[in-house]
Amino acid sequence: MCKRNYWEVSLIIGDWVSLESNNKVVYSDSELLKNRKMSRVGNSPILIPEGVTVDLKPNHIVVKGKLGELDLIFHDIEVTLKEKNIVLSRTSESKLHKSKHGLYRALVSNMIEGVSVGFTKELELVGVGYRASNQGQKLDLALGFSHNILFDIAPEVKVETISEKGKNPIVKLTSHDKQLLGYVAAKIRSFRKPEPYKGKGVRFIGEQIRRKAGKSA
CATH code where residue 149 lies? 3.90.930.12
What mean pLDDT comes out for the span 89-117?
91
What mean pLDDT comes out for the span 80-105?
89
What mean pLDDT comes out for the span 64-68?
94
Q: What are phi and psi of 94, to 5 degrees?
A: -70, 160
What's the whole-model pTM score?
0.76
Say if residues 60 and 104 touch (Cβ distance below 8 Å): no
**pLDDT computed for residue 199 by the predictor:** 86
Asked if residue 82 and residue 29 are part of one domain, the reply reads no
Task: In whole angstroms, give the CA distance from residue 146 to residue 82.
Answer: 58
Task: In whole angstroms, give the CA distance from residue 9 to residue 23.
Answer: 9
pLDDT band at residue 209 using 50, 70 and 90 as cut-offs: confident
Q: Based on C-alpha coordinates, what's the Rg of the chain? A: 24
Say if residues 103 and 111 touch (Cβ distance below 8 Å): no
* Residues spanned by the domain of 31: 1-37
What mean pLDDT comes out for the span 8-37?
42
Asked if residue 131 and residue 96 are part of one domain, the reply reads no
Asked if residue 47 and residue 31 are part of one domain, the reply reads no
Residue 194 DSSP one-character state: P
* Domain-embedded: residue 144: yes
Whether residue 129 has pLDDT greater than 60? yes
Say if residues 213 and 199 touch (Cβ distance below 8 Å): no
Alpha helices in 51-124 (DSSP H): 95-116
Asked if residue 68 and residue 79 are part of one domain, the reply reads yes
Domain boundary among 116, 135, 156: 116
Task: In whole angstroms, give the CA distance from residue 92 to residue 118.
Answer: 33
* Domain-embedded: residue 214: no
Alpha helices in 38-143 (DSSP H): 95-116
* Domain-embedded: residue 142: yes
* Domain-embedded: residue 217: no
* Domain-embedded: residue 172: yes
Asked if residue 109 and residue 88 are part of one domain, the reply reads yes
Percent of the residues in the chain that have a pLDDT greater than 70, as a whole number: 81
Total domains present in the chain: 3
Asked if residue 193 and residue 124 are part of one domain, the reply reads yes
* Domain-embedded: residue 135: yes
